[in-house]
Amino acid sequence: MEKIFSEEELKDLSKQLSCPSGKNGLAVGKKMNKTNFSMILATIQEIDLINGQSVLELGPGNGAHLDIMFDQNFNLQYWGLEVSKLMKEEAEQNCKHLLSDTRANFSLYDGLKLPFDEDTFDVIFTVNTLYFWKKPIQLLNDIHRVLKKGGTCYITFVQKKVMKDLPFAKKEFRMYDNNDIKELVRHSPFHLVDIINKTEEVKSKIGETIKRDYAIVCLVG
C-alpha cells in the first residue's frame, strides 16, 4: 500500500528535492539518485563523451553515477556544482578515488552564478535541476559563458504533464514542456540542436508507479 503523505511532509520533501539537508537529506539524496539514474545514464549516452574533455555537471547529487562515466572515458576532467552542502560532501565521500588523482572536483554555488572563467568546459549537463532554477534565463546565459565555443549543453527534465500530477511538485517546482524550453533557449545565445523525447516507468518519490515522459535537450554554444 502506498503511503499517504501530509501537506507538511510534501512541503518538506519538495524542499529536500531542491536542496537536500539535515537528517532527511541523505535518504532523499539516495532516493533521488535511484529514481534519476536511468535519466542520467540516457543523458550520458547522448553526450557521447570523448577522452580529454572538460565536463561540468550542475546538481550531481551524491555522485553515484560518476564511475560509469569515467569507465567510458578515463581521461575526463569533471567538475560537479551543488547547491546542497550535504550532497557535495556525499559526492566527495563516494568519489574519493576520483578526487585523489584530480579527475573530479566538487564545489558549492548559489544556483545563479557559475564560479568559472569564460570558455572553460567542452560539455555541460544537468538532470532534473531545471525546475529549481531561480533565474532560468540568467543561469542559462551563464552556462553559455563558461562553455567553450562550439561546446554542447544537455538539459534533461521531466515533462510538465507528468510533473503537474505529482503532489510534491506543486510547492517548489517550476514546470516545463518542450515549448517552454524552446522559449527559454530563445532568450539565450544557444542554438537548439535537438529535443530527444523518452518514456519510462518508475517509482515516484512518494512510492507511486508512474509513466515518466522526459526530454533531453541538446544545445550548442
pLDDT tens digits for 50-65?
Answer: 989 999 999 999 999 9
Q: By the 8 A CB rule, do 71 and 77 touch?
A: no
Domain boundaries defined on the chain: 7-220
Instruction: Report CA torsion sign: 99, 101, 107, 113.
Output: negative
Residue 221 to residues 43, 86, 114, 163, Cα–Cα distance (Å) = 18, 32, 16, 29
Per-residue pLDDT for 178 more than 60?
yes
- Per the DSSP assignment, residues forming a β-bridge with 80 are 57, 106
Q: Are strands 121-127 and 147-158 parallel, antiparallel or unpaired?
A: parallel
* Confidence band, pLDDT 50/70/90 cuts, at residue 176: very high
Task: Out of 3.40.640.10, 3.40.50.150, 3.40.50.2300, 3.40.50.1970, select the CATH number for domain 7-220.
Answer: 3.40.50.150
Reported confidence tier of residue 1, pLDDT bands at 50, 70, 90: very low
pLDDT band at 30 (very low <50, low <70, confident <90, very high): low
Mean pLDDT, the chain, integer: 86
Q: What tens digit of pLDDT does each residue of 197-210 get?
A: 999 987 665 566 77
Q: How far apart are alpha carbons 60 and 125 in whole angstroms?
A: 10
